[in-house]
A and B are shown apart, each in its own frame.
Chain A
Amino acid sequence: GAVVSQHPSWVICKSGTSVKIECRSLDFQATTMFWYRQFPKQSLMLMATSNEGSKATYEQGVEKDKFLINHASLTLSTLTVTSAHPEDSSFYICSGDGTSLFNTQYFGPGTRLTVL
């Protein structure tokens, strides 16, 4: 149980285009979903926390107008990278809050974004 999927698993796009990444909790309801970014040989950095039905909370230094997050249902959150540039190329991972007593997050398999 507690499976999170992401789509697409990888995407290549041209600079200036927008890319949408979906994160779905398949067998549980995620009141809270998290989006992380991981650059090569770096740790996962939290980008934003989103609660279903409300606006996302962005971490310091993350542009909310560039990384649009929508969490419209308890099983789906989307991250849209608007006007992507090569420096946005990264590995994006989402997670869903399993609402256990131990603050356990269940992670998706990640999406590799390459911006040419």
Chain B
Amino acid sequence: KQEVTQIPAALSVPEGENLVLNCSFTDSAIYNLQWFRQDPGKGLTSLLLIQSSQREQTSGRLNASLDKSSGRSTLYIAASQPGDSATYLCAVIGSSGGSNYKLTFGKGTLLTVNP
């Protein structure tokens, strides 16, 4: 059974700081890995998707890396801003049997960027 762990559970940083969020998963047989952002009481916003054959993806101030063999991914946020405050979720995409697939989520990292 796939398990996804995110460290730290919560992080508070001053504005402008660079930071790294960590994600690990137990089963390396994944299709893709995806990072999401969730604001309080809201749905999910997809940030980056890394295919299993890729090592990293970049979008603006965000950079996500994937080391499939070791079961790890990191999300790097450069020059953090108060608007980045949210919960960041890591999810791995793997087979659920047959032709179906499923996302397995971590519990998330609650990020607070202080002005």
Contact = CB atoms under 8 A, between A and B. Distances in A.
B51 A102 contact: yes
B32 A32 contact: no
Contacts of B100: 32, 49, 57
Interface in B1-48: 4, 31-32, 34, 36, 41-44, 46
Nearest to A46: B102
B71 to A, nearest CB: 17
Among A105, A109, A112, the most chain B Cβ lie within 10 Å of the Cβ of A105
Say which size band chain B's interface belongs to: 20 to 34
Interface stretch (A36-44, A62-70, A72-80, A81-89): A36-44
Nearest to A100: B49
B43 A43 contact: no
Interface residues of A, number: 23
A41 B6 CA distance: 13
Contacts of A107: 36, 43-44, 46
A105 B92 CA distance: 12
Interface in A28-52: 32, 34, 41-46, 49
Contacts of A103: 31-32, 93, 101
A23 B89 CA distance: 22
B43 A93 contact: yes
Interface in B56-115: 89, 91, 93, 96, 100-108
Given A103-B32, A104-B34, 20 more contacts: A34-B102, A41-B107, A43-B89, A43-B107, A44-B44, A44-B89, A46-B103, A46-B104, A49-B96, A49-B102, A91-B41, A93-B43, A93-B44, A102-B31, A102-B49, A102-B51, A104-B46, A107-B43, A109-B42, A109-B43
Interface of B: 4, 31-32, 34, 36, 41-44, 46, 49, 51, 89, 91, 93, 96, 100-108
